[in-house]
Structure 1
Amino acid sequence: MFQDSPIYDRLIAERGDIPTQVRREAERVSREVEFAMQPLLQSGGHAPPPGRPGPPPPTWQRGALPPGPQQL
């Protein structure tokens, strides 16, 4: 997109190719999530596969914070 821009070339030289780094990291995370989700997707998404326990129930819940001091 910006490959013909001298400003873009200078920024890449100074800071690195951040959009490419972000894209690669997003692709890596996407692959990891897909790998982690395979057992759930294979079971139809309703229950964990046999022999694997489900996630533990939550032990606490978030409550609303009490109101802070009044701003005048």
Structure 2
Amino acid sequence: MFQETPIFSRLVAERGDIPTQVRGEADRIHRDLARVMPWVPASDLPARTTPDRPAW
């Protein structure tokens, strides 16, 4: 994702690889949500029962 540069390498050494950690957490959250909230196609959702708000 990121090109290796001296500043990036130094930040990773000092602070850890934050982008990789964030991706890992996002993947974990995605798996957890998929387990408890199965995906439902939009065509299977109930129709809206409230009118849209007026565009002022």
Gaps of at least 5 residues in structure 2 are 47-56
**Which consecutive aligned stretches of 4+ in structure 1 deviate over 6 angstroms post-superposition?**
none
In 2 relative to 1, CA 9–23 (structure 1 residues): closer, same or farther, beyond 3 Å? same
- Name the structure where helix makes up a greater proportion of residues: 2
Matches within 5 A, 1:31-70: 31-38=31-38, 41=40
Q: Percent identity?
A: 53
| TM-score, normalised by the number of residues in structure 2 | 0.63
| TM-score, normalised by the number of residues in structure 1 | 0.50
Measure, in 2, the Cα distance between the counterparts of 1:19 and 1:30.
16
- Which structure has the larger Rg over C-alpha atoms? 1
1:26 lines up with 2:26 in the alignment: yes
Q: What is the CA deviation profile of residues 32-58 of structure 1, one whole-angstrom value per residue up to 9, with x for unaligned ones?
A: 0000013x84xx666xxxxxxxxxxxx
What one-letter code is carried by the residue in structure 1 that aligns with 2:32? E
Shift of 1:30: 0.4
What is the number of equivalent residue pairs in this alignment? 43
Gaps of at least 5 residues in structure 1 are 47-72
